[in-house]
């Protein structure tokens, strides 16, 4: 077994494909109260799972708020309710990018796999892929078919570079909104990426590798192309927001109390950079981060040290990434 494979197995520990497998484990451990958590869109399924737990003599506890990723495991809420374990439905296990412990509570991860004809789309449209050597990446919902897709592409004469995990992910080739490391890790070896999934958000992260991304989209039912570096405009817009507020004295930093979105090191880096430029810095923490909560403090610009996906979402206040603060080094600042 190669070192990479054993690391892979270690990382995917706690990921399951079927509730029956989780039930087996839960019964083996003798747990009698188990919490259930999942995203919007599969809440009816969570109720079915609760019924199945009860049928097996296990008391379910429902976590009310929906979840956007396994970064937000509700371990504290489950523990407070006296549950022995948590079943997190919808996502694979998430690794904290700053190394914080995500394993101090029993969590079973049951990723949601989208039942759409992904392979049909690939089989019908693969000839649109012009390059010979490709990297195969995608979102959790379709990664159960990654091996099949790889075999198909190889049969058709493509060289498919073996996928790796990213910083936060546990399935090879898997991409999150906050982690396209799986693509960056093999970018030098490929001429383009084949992406399993839909929407622009994840493919645009992959395009930051500088490569073209062929999106095998089971919603649109064809393969479309995300051009290389398609996030450049957004990055420019973020830099413009920093420049617009460069003379403001008060700056906020926002992080989340969600376990996988609590980025203390990022907070420290942002704080030091802002203080270096003479700013008064206020650090805020909240579970879910909504723009209206940050109005009224007399602060117009906040640095996002939580889910990076939120950076472009705010409308009235400016919300920028830690990375964009480097722009402050290049401009003249006046606090008079």
* Contact set with ligand SF4 (CB under 6 A): 68-69, 71, 176-178, 261, 307, 309
The CB-of-64 to ligand SF4 minimum distance in angstroms stands at 18
Which C-beta is closer to ligand SF4: that of 68 or that of 294?
68
The CB-of-149 to ligand SF4 minimum distance in angstroms stands at 23
The CB-of-112 to ligand SF4 minimum distance in angstroms stands at 14
Rounded Cα gap, residues 313 and 324, in angstroms = 16
The CB-of-72 to ligand SF4 minimum distance in angstroms stands at 6
Task: Output the six-digit token pair for 189.
Answer: 């070896």
Which C-beta is closer to ligand SF4: that of 85 or that of 307?
307
Ramachandran area for residue 335 (φ above 0: left; ψ -120 to 50: alpha; else beta): alpha
The CB-of-186 to ligand SF4 minimum distance in angstroms stands at 20
Which C-beta is closer to ligand SF4: that of 25 or that of 291?
291
The CB-of-268 to ligand SF4 minimum distance in angstroms stands at 18
Find out whether 156 and 164 touch, Cβ atoms under 8 Å: no
Ramachandran area for residue 65 (φ above 0: left; ψ -120 to 50: alpha; else beta): beta
- Residues whose CB falls within 8 Å of the CB of residue 117, separated by 6 or more in sequence, listed in order: 218, 221
Which C-beta is closer to ligand SF4: that of 125 or that of 309?
309
Q: Is the dihedral of CA 11, 16, 21, 22 positive or negative?
A: positive
Which C-beta is closer to ligand SF4: that of 261 or that of 328?
261
| CB neighbours of residue 254 within 10 Å | 21
The CB-of-94 to ligand SF4 minimum distance in angstroms stands at 6
Instruction: Tell me how far CA of residue 188 lies from CA of 161, 180, 194, 210, in angstroms.
Output: 10, 14, 15, 10
Which C-beta is closer to ligand SF4: that of 181 or that of 252?
181
Which C-beta is closer to ligand SF4: that of 185 or that of 255?
255
Instruction: Tell me how far CA of residue 244 lies from CA of 25, 57, 80, 332, 333, in angstroms.
Output: 54, 59, 44, 12, 11
Which C-beta is closer to ligand SF4: that of 68 or that of 126?
68
| CB neighbours of residue 259 within 10 Å | 20
Q: Is the dihedral of CA 285, 288, 289, 290 positive or negative?
A: negative
The CB-of-73 to ligand SF4 minimum distance in angstroms stands at 10
| CB neighbours of residue 18 within 10 Å | 9
Find out whether 279 and 251 touch, Cβ atoms under 8 Å: yes
């Amino acid at each position: 077994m190669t070192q990479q494979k054993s690391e892979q197995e270690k990382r995917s520990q706690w990921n399951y494909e079927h509730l029956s497998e989780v039930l087996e484990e839960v019964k083996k451990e003798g747990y009698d109260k188990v919490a259930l958590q999942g995203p919007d869109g599969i809440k009816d399924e969570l109720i079915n799972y609760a019924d199945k737990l009860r049928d097996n003599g296990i008391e379910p506890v429902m976590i009310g708020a929906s979840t956007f990723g396994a970064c937000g495991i509700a371990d504290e809420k489950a523990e407070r309710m006296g549950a022995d374990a948590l079943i997190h439905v919808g996502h694979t296990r998430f690794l904290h990018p700053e190394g914080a412990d995500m394993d101090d509570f029993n969590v079973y991860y049951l990723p949601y796999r989208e039942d759409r004809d992904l392979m049909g789309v690939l089989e019908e449209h693969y000839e649109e892929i012009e390059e010979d050597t490709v990297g195969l990446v995608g979102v959790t919902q379709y990664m159960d078919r990654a091996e099949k897709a790889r075999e198909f592409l190889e049969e058709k004469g493509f060289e498919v570079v073996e996928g790796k995990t990213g910083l936060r992910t546990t399935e090879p080739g898997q991409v999150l909104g906050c982690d396209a490391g799986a693509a960056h890790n093999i970018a030098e070896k490929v001429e383009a990426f084949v992406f399993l999934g839909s929407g622009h958000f994840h493919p645009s992260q992959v395009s930051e590798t500088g490569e073209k991304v062929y999106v095998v989209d089971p919603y649109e039912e064809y393969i479309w192309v995300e051009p290389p570096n398609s996030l450049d405009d957004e990055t420019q817009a973020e830099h413009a927001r920093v420049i617009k507020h460069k003379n403001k004295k008060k700056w906020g930093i926002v992080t989340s109390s969600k376990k996988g979105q609590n980025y203390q090191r990022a907070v420290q880096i942002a704080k030091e950079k802002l203080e270096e430029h003479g700013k008064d810095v206020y650090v805020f923490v909240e579970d879910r981060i909504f723009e209206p909560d940050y109005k009224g403090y007399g602060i117009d610009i906040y640095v996002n040290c939580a889910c990076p996906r939120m950076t472009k979402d705010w409308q009235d206040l400016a919300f920028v990434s830690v990375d964009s603060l480097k722009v402050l080094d290049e401009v003249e600042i006046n606090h008079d």
